[in-house]
Amino acid sequence: MLQDKKIVFSGVQPSGNLTIGNYIGAIKNFSRFSEEYETFYCVVDMHAITVRQVPAELRRRTYETLALYMACGLDAKKNTLFVQSHVPYHAELGWILDCYTMFGELSRMTQFKDKSAKHADNINAGLFTYPSLMAADILLYQTDVVPVGIDQKQHIELTRDIATRFNQVYGDTFTIPEGFIPTDTMKIMSLAEPTAKMSKSDPNPNAIVYILDNKDDIIRKFRRAVTDSDTRVCYGEGKDGINNLMNIYHAFTGKSNEEIEREFDGKGYGDFKLAVGEACADGLAPVRAEFDRLIAAKAYLESVMKEGSEKAMYYARKTMSKVRRKIGFVN
Ligand code: AQP
């Protein structure tokens, strides 16, 4: 019996090189579920095309994202690792859920508002309906827990609303998922503009620390991080830059705000920035080394994708046949 364990699902878009925001907010937390849950971690390439992608780069980043999952500690034997477009049920359920998602709900999504402002020349229907495809990703696997960063909270709430609505009409069909949003890590903000989220598609490379950046680049980027005119390392209102650096330092060292404030009492921002850079670079060094090893093994990555999609298909097919029957499609 495959189904004794609770189910975990999450995904990352291969829409750019992955950032420490993706790492701290999401991927770093994935492996904690591997032993006790049935886990599905997906490279969500279908979401990535809501923004224009260069095909060769999308393909390369799909492999890289899978390799990064593994480099961050996800064992392919203990977790189902796969690519979204390899399981066509995502698109099928996505369309069906579009028909159970309200225009007003989608219009309220802050990610849609942000992304349509950023890509004003390409506000396509997929960008708008992104959350119902995300709901399909989650609901296909009868997911109990979705580990995501805080920026995805609104999409998880909408997924729950869509599932509840569907269940009310057709009877119990979908498990209602819970988000797993770590309370000790906040949204990681841009180093250049600390009131905006650090996003992999930000065109300013100094705003972003990539998981695969080398130590020198990481330290240089933290040295240049925007802070404020104060000099004291402490958490507080109006100190967005320092708050962000403290969150990052906490993520790599486990130190609390009070401990950080004590450690840098009497020291300047320069010392603090250097310490954050070093903690981050040292924390990521093993990930980079393992990534280099995995990315060279393309055939192995392909075998992981293939096995992962076969297992995902098995689960997704069961949900889809239930959904098709409930809504009245002829089998
Ligand atoms: N800055 C962040 N802080 C904390 N968590 C973050 N996540 C992303 N950025 C931060 C979390 O990473 C997971 C994967 O995100 P995604 O790739 O699906 O999409 P996203 O949230 O739109 O990430 P980006 O980096 O901003 O991508 P682009 O630039 O392509 O839109 C999610 O769990 C997310 O919460």
pLDDT tens profile 22-64: 999 899 999 999 999 999 999 999 999 999 999 999 999 999 9
Name the active-site residue from 5, 77, 115, 273.
115
Kindly name the residue from 197, 221, 239, 273 that is annotated as catalytic.
197
Tell me what the pLDDT averaged over the chain comes to: 95
Q: For tokens 């403290």, what's the residue?
A: 246
Which listed residue (200, 221, 239, 273) is catalytic? 200
Q: What are phi and psi of 318, to 5 degrees?
A: -60, -45
Pocket of ligand 1 (CB under 6 A): 12-13, 15-16, 19, 21-22, 24-26, 148-149, 151-152, 187-188, 197-201
Q: With contact defined as beta carbons under 8 Å apart, do 42 and 74 qualify?
A: no
pLDDT tens track for 265-298 = 999 999 999 999 999 999 999 999 999 999 999 9
Atom in ligand 1 nearest the alpha carbon of residue 189: 1
- CA nearest ligand 1 atom 2, residue: 21
If you ran DSSP here, which 8-state letter would residue 145 be given?
E
DSSP codes, 17-44: S-BHHHIIIIIHHHGGGTTTSEEEEEE-
Edge to edge, the sheet with strand 7-12 lists 80-83, 38-43, 7-12, 145-147, 178-180
CB atoms within 10 A of CB 331: 5
Indicate if 298 belongs to the active site.
no
Answer whether 161's CB lies under 8 Å from 135's CB.
no
For a pocket test of ligand 1, which of 9, 22, 50 has the largest count of ligand atoms closer than 8 A to its C-beta? 22
Q: In degrees rounded to 5, what are phi and psi of residue 7?
A: -110, 135
Q: Which DSSP string do the residues of 119-144 spell out, in sequence order?
A: TTT---HHHHHHHHHHHHHHHTTT-S
107-136, pLDDT tens digit by residue?
999 999 999 998 899 999 999 999 999 999
End-to-end CA distance of the chain: 25
The two tokens of residue 288 are 């980079």
Question: What mean pLDDT is predicted for residues 85-110?
Answer: 98
* CA angle (282 as vertex; 273, 78 as ends), nearest 5: 130
Please tell me the distance from the alpha carbon of residue 117 to that of residue 139, in angstroms, as a whole number. Answer: 29
Whether the per-residue pLDDT at 331 is higher than 90: the answer is no
> Over pLDDT 70: what percentage of the chain?
98
Percent above pLDDT 90 for the chain? 91
SS3 percent helix, strand, coil of the chain, rounded to 5, is: 55, 10, 35
Q: How far does the centroid of ligand 1 lie from the alpha carbon of residue 187, in Å?
A: 9
pLDDT value, residue 57: 96
d(CA 93, CA 135): 9
Q: Alpha-carbon distance 83 to 90, whole Å?
A: 11
**Residue 158 CB neighbour total at 10 angstroms:** 20
Task: Give the Å distance between the CA of 159 and the centre of ligand 1.
Answer: 17
Instruction: Note the pLDDT of residue 266.
Output: 92
For residue range 143-172, list pLDDT tens digits in order: 999 999 888 999 999 999 999 999 999 999
What token pair was written down for 20?
A: 């420490």
The pLDDT assigned to 220 comes to: 97
Cα–Cα distance for residue pair 294/214, rounded to 1 Å:
17
pLDDT digits (tens, 9 = 90+) for 11-21: 999 998 999 99
